[in-house]
Amino acid sequence: GQLGISLSSVISFNSTLAMLLWFWTQLETSLGAIARLKGFEEVTLSENKPRETSVPNEEWPASGAIDFKNVSASYGQGAPALRDISFHINAGEKIGICGRTGSGKSSLLSVLLRIIDIDSGSLAIDGLDLELIRRETIRSRLITIPQDPFILSGSLRLNADPGGNASDESIIAALTKVGLWDILESRGGLEANMNTNPLSQGQLQIFCLARAMLRTGKGKVLVLDEATSSVDSETDLLMQRLIREEFSECTVLTVAHRLDTIMDSDRVIVLDAGKLVEMGSPEELMKREGAFWGLRGGSHSD
């Protein structure tokens, strides 16, 4: 009897000891993580510059007019990615941005979103100088659809509406419009974890359009960077139609490789080696037989 009690005490002590060790390891790991975060916060400088303090009113940008004046920008020591770019975009205009690989299309959007700094010149939305506004404010007021969709670890609802502002009905309506609701509903609906059953790259791009549609009314500028690069041309057409319908009130900037995507833009910006070489309606530019016409293959037939 005594032996049994001792053995059982030894076994339960053993498991208590194992639990203690496990908790201790967890504690050490957590403390390490906290220390690293604290270190990161101390060492990492805020990306905001001292003068970027303005907080625009809630409605900004109320119209979505964009002005670039002699904007040049570069990545560190390299050659300038943008050289002396000037243009005015009217509120509500649909603008296509095109040019060869490396011509500066993405960089143009990056300066607008204040991801890269400008070396000289100025840029403004609705008359407000972007260099005076906190960067997170700018990014939260512009609606973007990126080239590489990002998915948060969590439910469909969280991913469709990370700000938590939309009703279930409007999320379902947006996903139905883009043609994804049937698939997503069959995979468990709004509560299903998005990482369990990943969507294809093309489906993710369509998903990002629905996510952006849920933000209309919360911004007047939509920025798309090759947002339809992984979908077939039929889906591209559907996405372009939805963008025209759902963002009719917004200024829309679309970077496109596939020129068909931007043929019904109001105007097109053509970049070459960081310079703006042409800007005008697609018809005008095709008639001119210049850079845009050249990118289209130098032919009027398509």
Name which of 161 and 226 has its Cβ closer to ligand ATP: 226
Name which of 65 and 81 has its Cβ closer to ligand ATP: 81
Shortest distance in whole angstroms from residue 261 CB to ligand ATP:
13
Q: According to CB under 6 A, which residues from 62 to 121 bind ligand ATP? A: 75, 78, 81, 99, 101-107
Q: According to CB under 6 A, which residues from 125 to 184 bind ligand ATP? A: none
CA-to-CA distance for 111 and 135, rounded, in angstroms? 11
Sign of the alpha-carbon torsion through 99, 102, 104, 109: positive
Name which of 78 and 164 has its Cβ closer to ligand ATP: 78
Shortest distance in whole angstroms from residue 137 CB to ligand ATP:
23
Shortest distance in whole angstroms from residue 229 CB to ligand ATP:
10
DSSP codes joined into one string, the chain? -HHHHHHHHHHHHHHHHHHHHHHHHHHHHHHHHHHHHHHHHHHSPPSS-TTTTB---TT-SSS--EEEEEEEEESTTS-EEEEEEEEEE-TT-EEEEEESTTSSHHHHHHHHTTSS-EEEEEEEETTEEGGGB-HHHHHHHSEEE-SS----SSBHHHHH-TTS-S-HHHHHHHHHHTT-HHHHHHTTGGGSBTTTSPPPHHHHHHHHHHHHHTTTTS-SEEEEESTTTTS-HHHHHHHHHHHHHHTTTSEEEEE-SSGGGGTTSSEEEEEETTEEEEEE-HHHHHHHTSHHHHHTTS-S--
Q: According to CB under 6 A, which residues from 206 to 245 bind ligand ATP? A: none
Shortest distance in whole angstroms from residue 269 CB to ligand ATP:
11
Encoded tokens for 77? 């020591």
Shortest distance in whole angstroms from residue 109 CB to ligand ATP:
8
Shortest distance in whole angstroms from residue 191 CB to ligand ATP:
37
Name which of 110 and 240 has its Cβ closer to ligand ATP: 110
Name which of 108 and 242 has its Cβ closer to ligand ATP: 108
Number of residues that bind ligand ATP (CB under 6 A): 11
Shortest distance in whole angstroms from residue 97 CB to ligand ATP:
8
CA-to-CA distance for 16 and 217, rounded, in angstroms? 57
Paired strand residues for 118: 73
Shortest distance in whole angstroms from residue 188 CB to ligand ATP:
36
Name which of 94 and 105 has its Cβ closer to ligand ATP: 105
Name which of 106 and 216 has its Cβ closer to ligand ATP: 106
**Does position 261 bind ligand ATP by CB under 6 A?**
no
Paired strand residues for 270: 98, 278
Name which of 148 and 245 has its Cβ closer to ligand ATP: 148
Q: Which residues bind ligand ATP (CB under 6 A)?
A: 75, 78, 81, 99, 101-107
